[in-house]
Amino acid sequence: MENQENQEPEQKEPENQPHGGDQYWVKKQDTGLGQGLKNFMTVVGILFFIGIFAAIYFIRGYIAGH
């Protein structure tokens, strides 16, 4: 009976502490899909950054042209 009583809190911990479960899930994601997502977001960020500069350049050229 003592063993069952000791095991019960361990099973309830993930339910009572969702943050612990989230950290474990994030760690699992980093090994595979998370890495790809980071790379994808980096590429998107770079393209977005270039897009902003291109927009500023074209707007300046448009204003200067008129």
User: In the chain, what are the domain boundaries?
Assistant: 35-66
User: What is the model's pTM?
Assistant: 0.40
Q: What pLDDT does 42 receive?
A: 94
Rounded CA separation 20/27 (Å): 11
Q: What pLDDT does 50 receive?
A: 97
Q: What pLDDT does 5 receive?
A: 56
Tens of pLDDT along the chain (66 residues) come to 555 555 555 555 455 555 555 555 555 555 677 788 888 999 999 999 999 999 999 999 998 887
